[in-house]
């Protein structure tokens, strides 16, 4: 079946309804990158965080070599992973640099899709410079094909900008939650700087200055910088659009606005105080607002500081040090497999990039037709290829007359807990239906009769007819069918939350 399809990235350019490139013949499958110079595209096409398309195909891993931190964030408990780059949860193993290198080589051999090694905690990597840079130095010597990546709160960044350039580190993330020290004082109770603990707005002011100086220094040194911000309703939510504007002005490549995770059981200040995180629509609205000024990342999974695998999956338990010690690995054969796989994915991405498909008057959908959200069950590869009952998260796409764009992911509990049939977990299903609030279609490779019925009752149409089809093609195809059937003229009437 040939499709008239347009896939939108989330750049400011792509948001122009029918402007510039979007109006005519460009509709590549990775428009998020298509406006970039070729040299930059080469640096991000296989980085799962810097390219939304890449995260369907390539994996990352983190090594937890950095225990100490030089600031306190109100969303962090030292017993838990760094919340800048992780969901709360203890790091299973703190590693020495030597162990970290051994683990990285073992993962590279067993998960050939792994292209990026990041250091993201559990504390701040630059507050542990010896451990961090020893790991990077050894890896840049032993595994030069692996991209090296680091995430920092930025306090020590100006001191290490030059050191970072020495170790083949091409990607740095700075977590910047504000540019106003008064707001900063509500997020950071203290920083530790020049052998002193500095509290309140004065500490926040120093941190903000150092973050911005560090950002400028990295950009001057041609390192790609992503800025992460934690959205904290009532604290910095009204301020982050301004943060986005400033970091873009200073040369950041990508902005990642993440939701605050705060639960009392994590023992964080915000968790204990009952500070809530944003709802999915609140997060999406802010990301859309920021995207007027900035490339936005929307596929972040707030990984653990020892995460391994594709974004959203955690294979860390397969690679504990005791298991690695027992592995017998034929490294030359593994590296050969790695290279072949990378070449194949590269060829596929290039082929996709060259498939410019257009909205035409025949296949186009009239301006003004209402957009809809669809949830997709996928286990990678950019395909609709997961059973509804096996999904632990759904990818959310928006279809509109302008094309298809990725919006976010939403985590859910597993509906199917074993066997070939879906369980009778009515309560889990009701939670899934709530998590999918706002979506009108769920695309999956297969779905059982019972969940089908309940989803339909809740106003979400299950669809298993596009198994193994590329997600964007499937979403556009269903949107077109709905248009032809006159379903887009109707307003949605059923309230999913009441399901």
- How many binding residues for ligand CLF (CB under 6 A)? 18
Torsion of CA 381, 387, 392, 394, to 10 degrees: 60
User: Judged by CB under 6 A, does residue 46 bind ligand SF4?
Assistant: no
- Whole-number Å distance between alpha carbons of 436 and 411: 9
125-144: which residues touch ligand SF4 (CB under 6 A)?
A: none
- Whole-number Å distance between alpha carbons of 398 and 420: 31
User: Judged by CB under 6 A, does residue 153 bind ligand SF4?
Assistant: yes
156-215: which residues touch ligand CLF (CB under 6 A)?
A: 171, 173
User: Residue 274: left (phi > 0), alpha (psi -120 to 50), or beta?
Assistant: left
DSSP states along 107-150 = HHHH-TTEEEEEE--BS-GGGSHHHHHHHHHHHHHH-TTSEEEE
With CB under 5 to 8 Å by kind, the binding choice for 69 among ligand SF4, ligand CLF, none is ligand SF4
**In the set 123, 184, 271, 389, which binds ligand SF4 (CB under 6 A)?**
123
**In the set 8, 44, 63, 76, which binds ligand SF4 (CB under 6 A)?**
76
With CB under 5 to 8 Å by kind, the binding choice for 300 among ligand SF4, ligand CLF, none is ligand CLF
With CB under 5 to 8 Å by kind, the binding choice for 149 among ligand SF4, ligand CLF, none is ligand CLF
The candidate with the shortest Cα–Cα distance to 52, out of 312, 441, 282, is: 312
The site string for ligand CLF over 442-471 (x = CB under 6 A, - otherwise) reads ------------------------------
b/e sequence 34-70, b meaning 16+ C-beta within 10 Å = bbbeeeeeebbbbbbbbbbbbbbbbbbbbbbbbbebb
User: Judged by CB under 6 A, does residue 393 bind ligand CLF?
Assistant: no
| CB-nearer residue toward ligand CLF: 311 or 399 | 311
- Whole-number Å distance between alpha carbons of 53 and 431: 29
State both tokens at 482.
């709905």
| CB-nearer residue toward ligand SF4: 240 or 383 | 240
With CB under 5 to 8 Å by kind, the binding choice for 212 among ligand CLF, ligand SF4, none is none
User: Judged by CB under 6 A, does residue 73 bind ligand SF4?
Assistant: yes
Tell me which stretch binds ligand SF4 (CB under 6 A): 75-83, 339-347, 421-429, 481-489. Answer: 75-83
93-152: which residues touch ligand CLF (CB under 6 A)?
A: 116, 118, 120, 149, 151
User: Judged by CB under 6 A, does residue 124 bind ligand SF4?
Assistant: yes
- Whole-number Å distance between alpha carbons of 164 and 135: 12
Q: By the 8 A CB rule, do 211 and 176 touch?
A: yes
- Whole-number Å distance between alpha carbons of 291 and 15: 8
The candidate with the shortest Cα–Cα distance to 60, out of 303, 299, 222, is: 303
| CB-nearer residue toward ligand SF4: 73 or 286 | 73
Q: By the 8 A CB rule, do 303 and 86 touch?
A: yes
69-98: which residues touch ligand CLF (CB under 6 A)?
A: 85
User: Judged by CB under 6 A, does residue 303 bind ligand CLF?
Assistant: yes
Q: What's the angle, vertex CA 427, arms to CA 421 and CA 433, rounded to 5?
A: 85
CB of 82 to ligand SF4, least distance (A): 3
Distance of CA 152 to the CA centre of its chain: 17
Rule CB under 6 A: which residues touch ligand CLF?
49, 60, 62, 85, 116, 118, 120, 149, 151, 171, 173, 226, 256, 300-303, 311
Rule CB under 6 A: which residues touch ligand SF4?
69, 71-73, 76, 82-84, 121, 123-124, 153
């Amino acid at each position: 079946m040939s499709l008239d399809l347009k896939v939108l990235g989330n750049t400011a350019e792509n948001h122009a309804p029918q402007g510039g490139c979007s109006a005519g013949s460009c509709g590549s499958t990775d428009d998020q990158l298509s406006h970039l110079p070729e040299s930059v595209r080469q640096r991000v096409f296989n980085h799962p965080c810097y390219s939304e398309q890449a995260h369907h195909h390539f994996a990352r891993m983190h090594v937890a070599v950095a225990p100490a931190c030089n600031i306190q964030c109100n969303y962090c408990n030292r017993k838990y992973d760094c919340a800048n780059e992780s969901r709360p949860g203890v790091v299973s193993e703190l590693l020495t640099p030597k162990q970290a290198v051994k683990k990285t080589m073992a993962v590279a051999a067993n998960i050939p899709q792994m292209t990026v090694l990041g250091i993201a905690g559990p504390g701040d990597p630059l507050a542990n410079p010896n451990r961090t840079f020893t790991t990077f130095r050894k890896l840049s010597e032993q595994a030069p094909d692996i991209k090296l990546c680091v995430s920092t709160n930025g306090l020590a960044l100006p001191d290490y900008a030059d050191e970072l350039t020495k170790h083949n580190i091409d990607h740095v993330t700075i977590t910047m939650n504000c540019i106003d020290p008064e707001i900063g004082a509500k997020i950071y109770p203290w920083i530790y700087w020049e052998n002193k603990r500095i509290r309140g707005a004065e500490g926040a002011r120093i941190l903000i200055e150092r973050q911005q100086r560090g950002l400028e220094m990295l950009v001057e040194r041609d390192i790609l910088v992503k800025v992460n911000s934690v959205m904290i309703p009532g604290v910095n939510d009204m301020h982050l659009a301004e943060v986005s504007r400033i970091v873009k002005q200073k040369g950041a490549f990508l902005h990642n606005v993440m939701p605050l995770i705060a639960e009392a059981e994590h023992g964080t200040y915000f968790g204990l105080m009952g500070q809530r995180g944003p709802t999915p629509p609140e997060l999406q609205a802010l990301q859309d607002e920021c995207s007027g000024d900035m490339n936005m990342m929307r596929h972040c999974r707030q990984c653990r500081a020892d995460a391994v695998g594709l974004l959203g999956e955690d294979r860390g338990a397969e690679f504990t040090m005791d298991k690695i010690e027992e592995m017998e690995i034929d490294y030359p054969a593994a590296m050969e497999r790695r290279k072949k796989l990378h070449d194949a994915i590269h060829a596929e991405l290039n082929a996709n990039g060259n498939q410019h498909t257009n909205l035409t008057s025949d296949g186009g959908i009239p301006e003004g037709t209402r957009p809809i959200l669809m949830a997709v069950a996928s286990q990678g590869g950019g395909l609709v290829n997961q059973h509804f009952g096996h999904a632990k998260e759904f990818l959310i796409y928006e279809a509109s007359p302008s094309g298809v764009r990725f919006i976010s992911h939403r985590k859910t509990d597993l509906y199917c807990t074993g066997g070939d049939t879906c369980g009778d977990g009515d309560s889990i299903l009701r939670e899934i239906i709530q998590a999918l609030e706002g979506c009108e279609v769920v695309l999956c490779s297969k779905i059982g009769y019972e969940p089908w019925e309940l989803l339909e009752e809740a106003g979400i149409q299950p669809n298993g007819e596009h198994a193994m089809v590329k997600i964007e093609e499937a979403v556009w195809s269903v949107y077109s069918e709905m248009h032809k059937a006159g379903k887009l003229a109707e307003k949605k009437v059923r309230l999913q939350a009441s399901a």
